[in-house]
Amino acid sequence: MAFVCLAGPTAVGKSSVAIELAKQLEAEILSADSMQIYRQMDIGTGKVTPEEMQGVVHYGIDLVDPDESFSVADFVKYAKKTIANIAQRRHLPLVVGGTTLYLRGLLDGLSFQTVPSSPSLRQNWEDYAANHGREALYQELYKVDPLTAARLHINDVRRVVRALEVYQLTGRPMSQSYQWQPHRDRSDVLLLVLNGARDWLYARIDKRVDEMMASGWLDEVRRLLAAGVSEDAQSMQAIGYRELVRTLRAEISLEEAVVLIKRNTRRLAKRQISFLRQDPRAIWIEMDDYAQDKVVVQARKKIEQFLAGITLPQREYADE
């Protein structure tokens, strides 16, 4: 069951290229973005609008409410079923996104470590909860593993204690207690990666943040909180949302929040590029403001060669 992955750092322009490719190749798009799964979170996640979709079918968007959790395993299960359904209709599955954990889980799978229990550590944390209260225990977890804390209820002492126990035993948050499976030779998958010069990409990131702010991102965060979404929810830990929550709590100014959002997004892009560089299957295509038509032509050619069974180079880097 062949499918194509179109990956790359945030703000590089994956969505517009993917939509054009989908129109030309009778493809349907599966978003591999860990933030676009959330309903009501539209501006800060950069969701494509119905108008921008241009009639192309999209999956992986608006799957859960902002106060719900959604794991890598949840995504992989959903993605495999969706890809199979698209292929059954004789359309090309086109997986698009920058959440590298989602992509790696889909392509190679993840194995989760089994961490043995420590009765003494567990007893220490249970005593801590008894002496200081459940909220204090929960805050201890939030300090070291906010993602796990976000998916646990403050009253779920047993699981909060277990998460703290895992952190103390391994030195890693429970949310990261997985091991990568080796890169597999996937003859049924084509991995294309869009990238661009650093200054160009960073300028696009800054511009996109400014456009999101002008579109009402702060009001979106305000509405989410007013609707009862906890600021500690997994969804609210995303870049931009957590900084704007701090603005609404009067901890930092709006100007400071915007600076932090841009900085943190640039850092995210750098991590995404570094992660994708490690994948020997990636075929890289250079992007810039004037290259979209050319990029679509390049990508379409590679996809058609892949579907025809023509072997493509394992590594093909864009110019630095």
Who wins on pLDDT, 307 or 171?
Answer: 307
Extract the annotated binding site for substrate. 10-15
pLDDT at 319 over 50: no
The string of pLDDT tens digits covering residues 296-306 is 999 999 999 99
Q: If pLDDT is split at 50, 70 and 90, which confidence band does 320 have?
A: very low
pLDDT at 313 over 80: no
pLDDT at 81 over 80: yes
pLDDT at 232 over 60: yes
pLDDT at 114 over 80: no
Picking from 92-106, 178-192, 249-263, which range would have the lowest pLDDT averaged per residue?
178-192
Mean pLDDT score, 19-25: 98
The number of residues in the chain equals 320
Q: What's the pTM value of the predicted model, to 2 decimals?
A: 0.81
pLDDT at 100 over 80: yes
Q: If pLDDT is split at 50, 70 and 90, which confidence band does 174 have?
A: confident
pLDDT of residue 318: 40
pLDDT at 315 over 70: no
The string of pLDDT tens digits covering residues 275-294 is 999 999 999 999 987 778 99
Mean pLDDT score, 172-199: 85
Which residues have CB under 8 Å from 262's CB, separation 6+?
Answer: 205, 206, 209
Picking from 79-88, 105-114, 141-150, which range would have the lowest pLDDT averaged per residue?
105-114
pLDDT of residue 112: 64
Extract the annotated binding site. 8-15
pLDDT of residue 314: 53
Mean pLDDT score, 250-268: 96
Picking from 30-39, 220-229, 251-260, 286-295, which range would have the lowest pLDDT averaged per residue?
286-295
Mean of per-residue pLDDT scores for the chain: 91
Mean pLDDT score, 240-247: 95
Extract the annotated binding site for ATP. 8-15
pLDDT of residue 257: 98
Cβ–Cβ under 8 Å, residues 36 and 60:
yes
Q: Above pLDDT 70, what percent of the chain?
A: 94
The overall longest dimension of the chain from CA atoms, in Å, is 66
Complete domains list, the chain, with CATH: 3-112+179-307 (3.40.50.300), 119-176 (1.10.20.140)
Cβ–Cβ under 8 Å, residues 40 and 64:
no
Mean pLDDT score, 189-211: 97
pLDDT of residue 170: 82
pLDDT at 225 over 50: yes
Who wins on pLDDT, 310 or 17?
Answer: 17
Who wins on pLDDT, 201 or 109?
Answer: 201
